[in-house]
Structure 1
Amino acid sequence: MSFDFSKTFPLLPLRDAVVFPMTTRRILVGRDMSLRALEYAENHNNEIVLVAQRDVSEEELKNPMLDLYSVGVMARVSNVMPFPNGCVKVVLEGEEVVDLRSIMMADGFLNVTVSPRKQRIGAKDKTALFDEVLTRFREYATKRNIAEGMVDAFFGMENQLNAYYGMIPFLQVSLAEKQSFLEVTSLDEMSAKLLALMDVSEDNENVLVRVQQNVRQKMAQQQKEWFITEQIRQLQDELDGDGAGASEPDQLLAKIKAKNFTPAIVEKLEDEIGRMKLMQPTSPEYAVSRNYIDWFLNLPYGVYTDTVLNMKKVKSELDSKHFGLDKVKERIMEYVAVLKLTGTERRSPILCLVGPPGVGKTTLVESIASAMQRNFVRITLGGVRDEAEIRGHRRTYIGAMPGRFIHALRRAKCMNPIILLDEIDKMASDFRGDPASAMLEVLDPEQNHDFTDHFMEVGLDLSRVLFIATANSESEIPEALRDRLEIVRLPGYYPHEKLQIASKYLLPRICERTGVKLEEQVSFDEATVNAVMRGWTREAGVRELERTLESVVRHRAKEIVMGKKFKPEITDKQLQEYLGAPRFLDNQLPEPGRPGVVTGLAWTSVGGEILPIECMLLSGKGQIIMTGKLGDVMKESAQIAVSLVRERLHRFGIDPAIVKKTDIHIHVPEGAVPKDGPSAGIALTLCLLSAFTRIPVPPDVAFTGEVSLTGACLAIGGLNEKALAALQAGVKTLRLPAQNKKDVDELPAPAKKGLKIFTHKHIDEIVKILFVQKKAKK
């Protein structure tokens, strides 16, 4: 039937539906504009245009040309059935595919002008794929219980396009895919799309069938396991009556009674086994209870190793693996002696070895454990943020586990191991809790006899565990935790000690690792090792020294394998060839004969350093300029030095008022390195006095010490490192505060032998020695 495309037609927007030509569709209509369009169509030859909405959720069409597809169907209204709620059910018969040209709103409904499609499928068009599509659709219909009569009707149709339009409603496709079938321009294209859709549907169907089969098999397996387990349980119950066997909970109960648990633990475990007997063995709660009981059974409860407290053996073990550290070794020997006399670790102090990296804190603890023949476990606390790492998780959480101390006891296989708490100063805290606070109970001798882990839920005795902690910085340990520790400080190694360590320990170990024969294929004299220490390492320990020496030995190993000729001795030229240019420069004393320059001393985390201090006087207004990245304390020392010098200038015939007309510039070289502390007070005072009097101070005389506003010389720390640095730099005389006289006796032997050391109570004692004073003019 032909249509007059020169006129306008009413438009019925369809939501979630596409009507094809030569098909009939029942649609429920409820929107006001759609009802008006139907009413107009009934009064004008029942002609209406059907177009699908792009967004089915939109109730109103703000821009119809964009909200609707551009291809629709000319249709006729066949029957209209009204409902009491105002909606109508309409039967629509699709006639012809059309293109939308324009849409306007008139009389309360959408009016549209359309045109026939330029490229469209004719009624007589044929495709070679038609038989294949029909065959595949029959297979598709068989699996989905579609009536055979309907399928046979498609086989009898002469018009292949009508057959395809009849198949599409039976396929599970989206609205957009249905619209695409309406817009195709050839039967071959439509055939290919239908075959592809049925292929995808078949693949999905196969996956669904496979999943259902797997689920059924799994359920059958679980039912089978439950059935067999239940039979075994019933048989065990029958055997229990004859005393010939026991269920798993009863077996666990027997193991618990065989252990020497406390009454509180036995009561807790018996309650847990009582709950297990009421559960099915396949239930998740049963596995949780079983895991809980297994943790207790795997603990070495009541197992203690015999401790060997042979003082000579302990000393021999410490000396064999560590050079120097005499004070630390002495403290450890005292600790072992107390253990031997008391016979128990209860209430013994908890040692904390504090020192820079690489000085042997961890290996010291390993040596103690080896000498005492105690099991050794290491717990690394660096970066621990969660309290549950210490106390464990509560059993209400999935995957809950005990804390690190319960794990450590399990690994140690005894209840009195030596536990190393490594990097105790590097614990952190966040929203998950404060692990440092949780450590208080562990390390308090008054509390750790009844340590409660959240997972275990009952107290465990940790009082016989020997805890030893290590840290790099004492200030980083929380105060409450530090109060429970006895701090044993490990200073960095001195150069002469590093020389001995390299010769006796490092080089033999390196050569053993690399396969190079010491002395035969590679040899280091003292000068070579000193050159490596000065030029390529700057550390308190010996790790970098070991790595650098190993790099040299590896180069020698390469030469051996390549067949090169060489002498065993390593020369300075070979060092630079193997390691490159030196990374660090030696400390150098200032040039002699220059007023306003004094040699000071400084302590760093990697040892001592000389600290040249320079002063320049400029005409100005009495300002004090300080450069060299000085800290607040050092700046205050400079202010005190200016006051002391200003008060003493008249002794040298200099008017003190000159200070008000002079800008004082104080500089400490290596300006990028932060410097702070009061120990440069004496050196700053003498540097200023030298600048004002124009009397130079010999650079081979070094000074360290704090000075007060009255001129009193006050004690400082780090004297050992400072003295060795001064000796290495070429200093011959060292002047110190009298309060450090007690520390002079403890200086390393090379420092006491190579330096002339003088102590002074007051700054004026040093001034009288270094500066010639004139009588003031009347």
Structure 2
Amino acid sequence: MKKSNSETENLLETIALDLSHDFPLLALRDALVTPGSSTRILVGREASQNALKASHLYHDLLLLALQKDPDKESVEPEDLPKVGVLAHVQSVMPMPNGCWRVLVEGVVIVDLINTELLKDQNYLSAKILLRSYDSVDRSLLKLVSTEGVHLFEQYVNAQNISVEILSEIESKKDVFSKYLAMLPYIRVSAQQKQQVLEEKSLDEFCKRVNAYLQAALDVEGVVEHVRDDVQQKMQQNQKDWFIGEQIRMLQNELSDGDTDEVEKLVQKVKAKHFSKAIQEKLDEEFGRMRLMQPASPEYAVSRNFIDWFLAMPFGVYTDTALDLKKVKKKLDADHFGLDKVKDRILEYIAVLKQTNAENKAPIICLVGPPGVGKTTLVRSIAESLGRNYARVTLGGVRDEAEIRGHRRTYIGSMPGRFIQALRHAKCMNPVILLDEIDKMGNDYRGDPASAMLEILDPELNSDFTDHFMEVGFDFSKVLFIATANSEETIPAALEDRMEVVRLPGYYPHEKLSIAKDYLVPRVLKNCGVTDSETIVFNDESIQTILKEYTREAGVRELERQIETIVRKRVKETLMGKSGKLKLTPKLVEKYLGVPRFMGNRLPKPGHCGVITGLAWTSVGGEILLIETKLLSGRGHLLLTGKLGDVMKESAQIALSLVRERLQRFGVDPAIVRKTDIHIHVPEGAVPKDGPSAGIALTLSLLSAFTRTPVSPDIAFTGEVSLSGDLLPIGGLNEKALAALDAGVKTLYLPTQNEKDVVELPAPAKKGLKIHTKEHIDELIAILFPQAKKKTAAKAKKD
């Protein structure tokens, strides 16, 4: 409930007779209440709310003091000044957040004595004395007050404060009342106002208020001056631009315009002899530039647009070397093997020569595991053709604008990567490498693979439109060669527009030749070893590195291991251990440490239920061991090794085939219902899936049920149908490489893979005995010839 001012004065007169008792005290963070003014404050601290409650016992009178540190949460008596204000609480309104909105009116300035914290009631209290301000010099005070009223009048006009407030202040009878009325309207901090209250005399009280008013007027004058100066400069800039435009137009009338930047660009464009469509586009842009200020952001965008056209190699074509023998010699010198890829490039050059360079360039995609030389092969192709080379990295690209360019709607927009590649290549018929095309992504910014459909279609890429350039570009003369690790992850629409050339992993004999003829000389050169006789890598040492320290389809890790040996030897040489070093297997182990892999990865023979299978991965072929264990149970099939859905289905088919054939070996098929079957494929952390393990799964189950071991140096790959037919598989080159490297001697395949066996290199055909079969029973007859006799003999003995 609100109370009138007369009631407040009566309350003050009532307590003025006895000021001996303590009053509750509320600490303020950043607000100061002066006598005669009403202020709303927000009370949230528990101690402050307790003091507010206690004020009801003192006629709603409450002491207010400004704490010295506004960030301090828990206030102690020493955190408060010695001067405060006795205020009257007029209304209290609870808030939803637990705080109280309180309206208080300042009554009188007081001195705080014996401020203390009442711990049992958790609030501050203090005794008070009414503070008096005496004047030292009455005549000086009159001059000061007159100046103060004059300054406040100027302040009111500068701050657009109501004139009624000025009239109210002038109506005050005494100087102290006038200055107290001024203080709430002066824009200074609460701490500065606190300093006014703490002055000892009325003269100093008034002088400090006058100083605040004068400082505020000085600041306002500076702001007004800056505002006028900025406005004057803006007017001057507009005037300068207008005069500059007049001067430019006069210069165009009197001279040839060479001094104007836009006209210089126009002359450069005319010298390029662009097509009609491009010339019209640039003329339109020049028209816009003439209406812009050179300092504007839009002018920079237009200038960048024209600069891109001037930098593009329109009409520039490099002469292609069409000497097939020269190109073949270059490719053979840089890369060992890769005959299919080299033949495809020679075919392209032959057709190009036959048609007088008029045919459209194909889009070739080299698919193979890492480290087989896809990227370096593309560079060699560009060099052999005599063409410029550019590379577009697509791994991780998710934004469609990276392919088609950004629209010229904002500062910093750029053309797509293909336009940038042409600029980098400095010709219109380069060899462009599309690296890691199988690793593109897509998200809310678009699908970059779909944006590439136009540029990778030989029938459409003669007029590819970039969003930034806004005109068609002819990419039909560009030889695109893409690289990928896995054909499965290439977007289907892109794969349909490319000619896929598969690069299998290298065979051991190929790796040996590559290491001797390419890797060792290059590593020696990179490490600063000029004399090749200083470190001698013989065949035995290189084979040791291959078998015991690398396991890959390519030669990237092989090069790293060779470089490790050379680096260590260079360090020894610089430390005084000179002389010729001929590597041996023992020295290889000294430099590279304990072997990481065993030369032969096949298990020991004699284990029932263990079959050697083969798998294809994106980094080459792998040996896939399949183990089966039979346990007493209820016919459950347990599959472990992180198998995919296809392999799980293959295991179900294999179990059905085995159950059908158990009786041929004298085994009761009903035993399957009493047996839990556990099939495990080691290296369980690696996901495994694909239709090529059905034969191995079937033979593993049969080996376990008939207790007949199969030699681990016999490997199987292929799928099996429910009727027992053997189905073909892919990736035979990679699988044969893995089998040969692991020590497999015999390989069984489906008959439909005979056409792939013909394409295997001579070392694979020589090192592996390869047999093809049509039905699973043919394999069973070969691998388990004595199983039925052994089982029957055992049953007769029992």
TM-score normalised to the size of structure 2? Answer: 0.75
Q: Does 1:633 align with 2:646?
A: yes
**2:248 matched to which residue of 1?**
233
SS in 1 for 2:488: helix
SS in 2 for 1:475: coil
Rounded Cα–Cα distance in structure 2 between residues aligned with 1:344 and 1:217: 66
Q: How does 1:337-356 map to 2 (within 5 A)?
A: 337-344=350-357, 347-356=360-369
**2:495 matched to which residue of 1?**
482
Residues 508, 518 of structure 1: 8 Å contact kept? no
Residues 695, 719 of structure 2: 8 Å contact kept? yes
- Please identify, of 710-719 and 657-666, the stretch whose mean Cα deviation from structure 2 is larger: 657-666
Give the letter for the 2:511 counterpart: K
Q: Does 1:404 align with 2:397?
A: no
Distance 1:745 1:252, change over 3 A: same
Picking from 533, 541, 544, the partner of 1:531 is: 544
SS in 1 for 2:326: helix
Distance 1:572 1:648, change over 3 A: same
- Residue 292 of structure 1, CA deviation: 2.7
- Please identify, of 618-627 and 109-118, the stretch whose mean Cα deviation from structure 2 is larger: 109-118
- Residue 70 of structure 1, CA deviation: 3.4
Picking from 315, 324, 327, the partner of 1:314 is: 327
Q: How does 1:301-700 map to 2 (within 5 A)?
A: 301-344=314-357, 347-517=360-530, 519-564=532-577, 568-700=581-713
Cα deviation code 1:487-516 (max 9, x no counterpart): 122222222222221211111111111113
Cα deviation code 1:277-320 (max 9, x no counterpart): 44454554444433333322232222222222221222122112
SS in 2 for 1:602: strand
Residues 533, 580 of structure 2: 8 Å contact kept? no
**1:178 matched to which residue of 2?**
193
SS in 2 for 1:497: helix
Residues 52, 72 of structure 1: 8 Å contact kept? no
Rounded Cα–Cα distance in structure 2 between residues aligned with 1:465 and 1:673: 40
Rounded Cα–Cα distance in structure 1 between residues aligned with 2:198 and 2:425: 77
Residues 352, 359 of structure 2: 8 Å contact kept? no
Give the letter for the 1:237 counterpart: N
Residues 155, 217 of structure 2: 8 Å contact kept? no
- Residue 212 of structure 1, CA deviation: 7.3
Picking from 749, 755, 758, the partner of 1:736 is: 749
Residues 718, 726 of structure 2: 8 Å contact kept? yes
Distance 1:527 1:235, change over 3 A: same
SS in 2 for 1:454: coil
Is there any run of 5+ residues in structure 1 with no aligned partner, and where?
A: 1-31, 74-95, 127-133, 147-160
Q: Does 1:272 align with 2:285?
A: yes
Rounded Cα–Cα distance in structure 1 between residues aligned with 2:732 and 2:674: 38
Rounded Cα–Cα distance in structure 2 between residues aligned with 1:339 and 1:352: 19
Residues 587, 610 of structure 1: 8 Å contact kept? no
Residues 628, 677 of structure 2: 8 Å contact kept? yes
Rounded Cα–Cα distance in structure 2 between residues aligned with 1:690 and 1:628: 20
Residues 386, 429 of structure 1: 8 Å contact kept? yes
Residues 109, 197 of structure 2: 8 Å contact kept? no
Picking from 69, 83, 86, the partner of 1:100 is: 86
Q: Does 1:37 align with 2:5?
A: yes
- Please identify, of 450-459 and 518-527, the stretch whose mean Cα deviation from structure 2 is larger: 518-527
- Residue 335 of structure 1, CA deviation: 1.8
Residues 537, 545 of structure 1: 8 Å contact kept? yes
Rounded Cα–Cα distance in structure 1 between residues aligned with 2:529 and 2:213: 74
SS in 2 for 1:312: helix
Rounded Cα–Cα distance in structure 1 between residues aligned with 2:513 and 2:258: 68
Give the letter for the 1:239 counterpart: L
SS in 2 for 1:409: helix
Distance 1:178 1:677, change over 3 A: same
Cα deviation code 1:545-588 (max 9, x no counterpart): 22222122111111111113565123444434433333334443
Residues 521, 532 of structure 2: 8 Å contact kept? no
Give the letter for the 1:524 counterpart: F
TM-score normalised to the size of structure 1? Answer: 0.77
SS in 1 for 2:627: strand
- Residue 450 of structure 1, CA deviation: 2.0
SS in 2 for 1:441: coil
- Please identify, of 759-768 and 276-285, the stretch whose mean Cα deviation from structure 2 is larger: 276-285
- Residue 387 of structure 1, CA deviation: 1.9
Q: How does 1:142-153 map to 2 (within 5 A)?
A: none
SS in 1 for 2:679: strand
Residues 386, 434 of structure 1: 8 Å contact kept? yes
Q: How does 1:105-116 map to 2 (within 5 A)?
A: 116=111
Distance 1:511 1:203, change over 3 A: farther
Distance 1:651 1:720, change over 3 A: same
Distance 1:539 1:256, change over 3 A: same
The count of aligned residue pairs is 698
Cα deviation code 1:76-121 (max 9, x no counterpart): xxxxxxxxxxxxxxxxxxxx97653875779x99797986544998
Is there any run of 5+ residues in structure 2 with no aligned partner, and where?
A: 17-33, 56-60, 67-81, 93-102, 115-128, 137-143, 157-175
- Residue 221 of structure 1, CA deviation: 8.5
Cα deviation code 1:643-681 (max 9, x no counterpart): 323322333333333333333333333333333333232
Rounded Cα–Cα distance in structure 2 between residues aligned with 1:366 and 1:632: 41
Residues 53, 69 of structure 1: 8 Å contact kept? no
- Residue 474 of structure 1, CA deviation: 2.2
Distance 1:221 1:629, change over 3 A: same
Give the letter for the 1:233 counterpart: R
SS in 2 for 1:374: coil
Distance 1:208 1:335, change over 3 A: farther
Q: How does 1:197-212 map to 2 (within 5 A)?
A: none
SS in 2 for 1:442: coil
Residues 628, 669 of structure 1: 8 Å contact kept? yes
Q: Does 1:50 align with 2:50?
A: no
Give the letter for the 2:400 counterpart: E
Cα deviation code 1:117-149 (max 9, x no counterpart): 4499886899xxxxxxx9xx99xx9xx999xxx
Residues 650, 656 of structure 1: 8 Å contact kept? yes
Rounded Cα–Cα distance in structure 2 between residues aligned with 1:449 and 1:714: 43
Rounded Cα–Cα distance in structure 1 between residues aligned with 2:259 and 2:105: 84
- Residue 345 of structure 1, CA deviation: 5.9
Residues 594, 696 of structure 1: 8 Å contact kept? yes
- Please identify, of 478-487 and 614-623, the stretch whose mean Cα deviation from structure 2 is larger: 614-623
